Amino acid sequence: MAVLFPPFLSKGVGRASSPIDPVQKYRSYPGWTVFLSAMLLLGGTAPAAWAWVNPNFTGGLTGWTVSTSTTGGWAGAGCNPPSVAVVNATTASASGTGVAPDTAGLLPDHPACSQDAVQLYSSRGDSNNLDWAQIEQSDIVPTNGNTCLNFWFAGVFDSHHADTGDTAPHADSYLEIDVLVGGAVVAGIVYSWENNLAQIVQLTNTQVAPTGDGTECVVGTPNRWGYLPWTQYTINLCQYAGEQVTFRATDFDCDEGGHYGFGYISCLTWGMCPVASETFSKSNNPTGQVSQGATITYTLTYTNTGSIGAPNVTVTDVVPANTTLVPNSMTSNPPTGTTSQNGSQLLWSLGYEPPGASVTLGFQVVAGQACETVSNQAQETDSMQPCH
């Protein structure tokens, strides 16, 4: 017989425990821990700036460093090489109509906060995500309290390789946005079919016909497309006030030949950090006494109840002692982010969760040694931790 018994509810990294009395030891209760954290990494200092140069890309790329790569062997025939360009409603873009290409006219190529945006086009690379387009710029994190970096982004993604059974990381084209201090990434996001299936608007071949305009490279063979609507992202960088940070955005091709994508960025600002609001709960089934060999199902629910998005959301749990994880039992509903296991630790990397988003996670274990207590405790972290 195995007995489920969690520790006291607790906040922070620490763990509390309690003696088992004769009544309670044959009962189980959901145990949870909720805390917010942010990485600490020292970086250099620089003269105060506090204002991004040309944050809306008005009229061009002034202030931005632009890079492209065709190391992967750009295919060339029928499509354009990687590129960085400013697009808007009145200037001809790849679509020529003020909307992002291959989105059936549904995604504007600029956000509501600006008439201009940068378009990163990764092109049709051959292999290993080696064709890409990139922008970057450095600034100083303000010391006046306006330490939250805000920006808007959107993406367009070519064929989803999971349709053909390829679910390897970066099997598809993807958009990566990083914030660096001293050359090290302190905050970042990766958007792709694999990571953000629930948030990408999926289009059909009848909606996106091959155009031969330099984006749909193989005329007559329409691919499956999807797009991420314009989304505002907020990162709290109060730990680095007065230090130089670098904002970098890169759109990569897929790890095979022929698939590519677009990334869009605009409206970088510094501002006061809003208060994050979220709930995190956990339950287990069954909730009472279980027998050796019985299956225990744990369910974790994360909900962003605030008015702003939560960056870099991760949930971790540990396979309880005296139990064995059921293979392939880690789930996420809706499908979002990635899951991984390192020994007894389980990790769900959910990434960015917009306001109102709710994700249900789960896993199963089999009760092992008889007459032992099974304790379980999970935790959630993200990048909106305020400085104290």
Residue type for 177, please? I
244-252 and 174-181: which strand pairing?
antiparallel
pLDDT in tens, the chain (388 residues): 433 333 222 222 222 222 222 222 222 223 333 332 222 223 334 445 789 999 999 989 999 999 998 775 555 555 678 899 999 866 544 445 788 988 888 999 999 999 999 999 988 766 677 889 999 999 999 999 999 999 999 999 987 777 666 767 677 889 999 999 999 988 888 888 877 777 889 888 777 765 544 455 554 455 678 999 999 888 889 889 999 999 999 999 887 766 789 999 999 999 988 777 888 889 999 887 888 899 999 999 999 888 777 777 889 999 988 899 999 999 888 776 678 888 889 998 887 787 888 999 999 999 887 656 676 777 877 766 666 5
Burial of 36 (0-12, 13-18, 19+ CB in 10 A): middle
What are the structural domain ranges in the chain?
2-8+18-36+276-381, 65-271
- Output the CA angle 168-169-174, nearest 5 degrees: 125
Architecture of domain 65-271: Sandwich (2.60)
Rg of the Cα trace of the chain?
23
**CA 210: distance to chain centroid?**
30
DSSP 60-124: S-TT-EEEEEETTT---TTSPPPEEEEEESSS--SSSSSB-TTSTT-SBSS-TT-SEEEEEE---
| Identity of residue 388 | H
Task: Determine the Cα–Cα distance for residues 54 and 354; give it in Å rounded to an integer.
Answer: 26
| Torsion sign, CA atoms 216, 218, 219, 221 | negative
311: enclosing H helix or E strand: strand 310-318
CATH number for the domain formed by residue range(s) 2-8+18-36+276-381: 2.60.40.290
Cβ–Cβ under 8 Å, residues 306 and 278:
yes
Are the C-beta atoms of 101 and 156 separated by less than 8 Å? Answer: yes
Please tell me the distance from the alpha carbon of residue 154 to that of residue 108, in angstroms, as a whole number: 9
* pTM of the predicted model as reported, rounded to 2 decimal places: 0.71
Is the sign of the CA dihedral 19, 24, 26, 30 positive or negative? negative
